[in-house]
């Protein structure tokens, strides 16, 4: 399994790349949460998707870790700062964290 990388900078880039404002006006205030972002290989992503009952070619996944009270997301690595498709996946998974709807 790949070593997880936590990316705060990537979160800000993801929001900027998708044109999403860094506010939560549409959903109200965000409850304080921690976030761990695992950037995984294609094969590891497929394995995780299958293990959680998702289609094997899913692009990302978000889950709530009850023990540590944090949102955990897994995605493939964006290839660059302008890899809009993969940054949109990161944004989608972050939205799960914000809304509290997870792939458990």
Task: Tell me the per-residue pLDDT of 33-62, one tens digit each, with 9 for 90 and over.
Answer: 789 999 999 999 999 999 989 998 899 999
**Domain presence at residue 35:** yes
Higher pLDDT pick, 49 / 16: 49
Say what the pLDDT of residue 13 is: 38
Q: Which two tokens stand for residue 84?
A: 């809009």
**Domain presence at residue 79:** yes
Report the SS3 class of residue 35.
strand
Print the domain residue range for 26.
8-99
Q: Is the pLDDT of residue 12 over 80?
A: no
**Domain presence at residue 49:** yes
**Domain presence at residue 1:** no
Q: Is the pLDDT of residue 7 over 50?
A: no
Total structural domains within the chain = 1
Q: How many other β-carbons are positioned within 10 Å of the β-carbon of residue 47?
A: 14
CA geometry: angle 36, 39, 40, nearest 5 deg: 130
Say what the pLDDT of residue 100 is: 85
**Domain presence at residue 32:** yes
**Domain presence at residue 45:** yes
**pTM, 2 dp:** 0.67
**Domain presence at residue 104:** no
Q: Encode pLDDT of 54-104 as tens digits.
A: 998 899 999 989 898 899 999 999 999 999 999 999 999 999 998 888 765
Q: Is the pLDDT of residue 17 over 50?
A: no
**Domain presence at residue 2:** no
């Amino acid at each position: 399994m790949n070593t997880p990388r936590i990316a705060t900078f990537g979160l800000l880039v993801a929001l900027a790349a998708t044109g999403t404002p860094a506010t939560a006006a549409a959903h109200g205030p965000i409850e304080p949460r921690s976030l761990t972002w695992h950037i995984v290989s294609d094969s590891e992503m497929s394995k995780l998707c299958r293990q959680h009952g998702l289609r094997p070619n899913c692009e990302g996944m978000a889950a709530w870790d009850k023990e540590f009270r944090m949102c955990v997301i897994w995605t493939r690595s964006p290839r660059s700062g302008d890899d809009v498709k993969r940054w949109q996946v990161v944004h989608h998974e972050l939205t799960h964290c914000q809304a509290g709807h997870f792939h458990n």
